[in-house]
Amino acid sequence: MHDWLAERVRTSPEATALVEAEDGAEWSYAELDSAVEETAARLAALGLEPGDHLGVLMETRVAFVRLVHAAMRLGAVLVPLNARLARPELARQAETADLNLLVCERETESEAVAISEVPVASVDAPQREGEDAVAALRQRDSAGFDPASWSRADPQAMLFTSGTTGDPKAVSLSMGNFLASATASAFRLGVTPDDSWLLCLSMYHMGGLSVVLRSALYGTTVVLQEGFDAEDAADAMAEFGVTGVSLVPTMLRRMLDARDSLANSLRFVLLGGAPASEELLSRCEARGVPVHPTFGMTETASQIATARPREAFEHRGTVGRPMLWTDLTVVGEDCNPLPAGETGELVVSGPTVMRGYYGDPAATAEAFGEYGFHTGDVGYRDDAGRVWVLNRREDRIITGGENVHPGEVVEALREHPDVRDAAVVGLDDDEWGERVAALVVPEDGADLTGETVEDFCDDRLAGYKRPRTVAFAHELPRTASGTVEREAVRERLRRERDA
Ligand code: ATP
Ligand code: MG
């Protein structure tokens, strides 16, 4: 069970494993398997052994897919590194990950050589690696890979988190984690033998890597697009009859801007990484896009909860119910479970939850509690068991000793018919520690004032949760990935307060 591609070749060698969107080149499972055999042989010749950490520094391309399967075949731990990080960050990750070998491509070769203290091999140049370093790798005593000693709880890959709340953390995942995730996802989305999944995400994040792993397990097709481009992605979906795609909200928004409709063949759009806005959901509904809003993270090998389209349109903002085998508990400050409707930290347990943070037992211990892994995200479950994600725990506001979750206040503000969007942050306050403040985006032509907004909140929120400072903007400041830039919001609101 350690080599999903080998299993697949036994059962459906002629099925299409891979299509390159750029030129339509196709790889059957048998062809991909031979290519992976070559890659594995080269890695073994370089001295890579079972249990070794294989770093990969490149963007999404066929060579990367080959490395993913070759690592499985050799029993090595795959460590994809984010090729877009700055050199010092990359160097830190390479060190944290205890690499044995680093594979790069032409574009990342100088970075790879600069950050790595271990042999570097390029998929674009057969002779990149230093001979002495390789000789040293080869000299180790090796017993070779022994499938009998392999366990599905063994480390299989190490992925770094995105680094939103601090330095990226090295997440150690097992084959068991990926298997549970792929299976549970199949039960939520369905699988048919003719499925093909467009891969346009980076493979060093969970969303991209999952597409490659799952497709091999299912025996379905990956349509691979190198480098995301909204128009090309939309066109590739139509041209190759794509049935599924994984996207973050910004990418989907750009695709809907670029094209009037998406491929008719599309069965699911797995949309995660950040909240799907009302506006984006409305556009999906109007154009018949089968959107599946998803809450997931690196530590849980992707999906924790996924909503189906009807649910997503009828209950805007929900990420649906937890996946099969995943238990989700909402806990309060005292770490005890809260009833439906009450807001607290989302805690998950189940077979997709990581082994731990690599080389950091303290961080691992801190992340796990009685009910499982503490996601650091805040939300609630409604009476029907649907999950709602509001904000990150670290974004909470503490005012006069009371916790306020910005997402709750945003939800209340959005109930106002003239409010299109809002962001809520805490501003320092001498008396209360922090005070709630809101930056509001009014609907076009609406006549909103700070007072009307505050009055509206009076009926809906406890006193300490009501915004004490309100400012207006045409849109919220956002990062490239579409998340609200909280510091910029805070800055704008400080100016309003001090005006
Ligand atoms: P770090 O852990 O280093 O701070 P990160 O949490 O951004 O970075 P990822 O594992 O890539 O790293 O992202 C997972 C996070 O993304 C979740 O914990 C959650 O905060 C956010 N997220 C994912 N899906 C959604 C969603 N549908 N709605 C709101 N937030 C989401
Ligand atoms: Mg995180």
For the chain, the 3-state helix, strand and coil shares in percent, each to the nearest 5, are 35, 25, 40
Q: What is the pLDDT of residue 129?
A: 61
Distance 27 CA to ligand 1 centre (A): 33
Pocket test for ligand 1, best of 389, 395, 486 (most atoms within 8 A of CB): 389
Q: Across the chain, how many H-helices and E-strands are there?
A: 16, 26
Does pLDDT of 128 surpass 60? Answer: no
pLDDT per residue over 61-87, tens digit each?
Answer: 999 999 999 999 999 999 999 999 999
Burial class (CB in 10 A: 0-12, 13-18, 19+), 150: middle
What is d(CA 452, CA 232) in angstroms, rounded to the nearest whole number?
45
DSSP character string of 80-97: E--TTS-HHHHHHHHHHT
Show the DSSP H helices in 275-416 as ranges: 278-286, 309-314, 361-367, 406-414
Angle between helices 206-218 and 175-189 (to 10 degrees): 80
Index of the ligand 1 atom closest to the CA of residue 271? 27
What is d(CA 317, CA 306) in angstroms, rounded to the nearest whole number?
11
Pocket test for ligand 1, best of 93, 162, 206 (most atoms within 8 A of CB): 162
Q: What is the pLDDT of residue 120?
A: 94
Show the DSSP H helices in 240-334 as ranges: 249-258, 278-286, 309-314
What is d(CA 121, CA 140) in angstroms, rounded to the nearest whole number?
19
- Pairing mode of beta strands 268-271, 244-247: parallel
Assign 2 a pLDDT band (cuts: 50, 70, 90). confident
CB 372 within 8 A of CB 347: yes
Q: What is the pLDDT of residue 110?
A: 95
Q: What is the pLDDT of residue 486?
A: 92
Q: What is the pLDDT of residue 130?
A: 64
Distance 58 CA to ligand 2 centre (A): 23
Q: What percent of the chain has pLDDT over 70?
A: 98
User: For residue 290, what is the DSSP state?
Assistant: -
Q: What is the pLDDT of residue 303?
A: 98
Does pLDDT of 143 surpass 70? Answer: no
CB 170 within 8 A of CB 96: yes
Distance 435 CA to ligand 2 centre (A): 26
Q: What is the pLDDT of residue 93?
A: 96
What six digits make up the tokens of 225? 């697009």
CA angle at residue 403 from 398 to 407, to 5 degrees?
A: 105
Q: What is the pLDDT of residue 459?
A: 87
Ligand nearest to the CA of 393: 1
What is d(CA 127, CA 119) in angstroms, rounded to the nearest whole number?
11
* Ligand 1 binding pocket includes 212 (Cβ within 6 Å): no
Q: What is the pLDDT of residue 146?
A: 82
Q: pTM here?
A: 0.92
CB 215 within 8 A of CB 191: no
Cβ neighbors of 88 (< 8 A, separation 6 or more) are none
Does pLDDT of 175 surpass 60? Answer: yes
What is d(CA 83, CA 81) in angstroms, rounded to the nearest whole number?
6
CB 242 within 8 A of CB 223: yes
Mean pLDDT in the chain?
A: 94
pLDDT per residue over 414-473, tens digit each?
Answer: 999 999 999 999 999 999 999 999 999 999 999 999 999 999 999 899 999 999 999 999
Does pLDDT of 104 surpass 90? Answer: yes
Does pLDDT of 360 surpass 60? Answer: yes
pLDDT per residue over 367-380, tens digit each?
Answer: 999 999 999 999 99
Q: What is the pLDDT of residue 418?
A: 95
- What's the full length of the chain, in residues? 499
Asked which of 10-24, 41-55, 127-141, 261-275 is least confident by mean pLDDT, the reply is 127-141
Which residue bears the tokens 């119910």?
Answer: 321
* Ligand 1 binding pocket includes 162 (Cβ within 6 Å): yes
Instruction: Count CB-CB contacts under 10 A for residue 494.
Output: 16
Does pLDDT of 102 surpass 70? Answer: yes
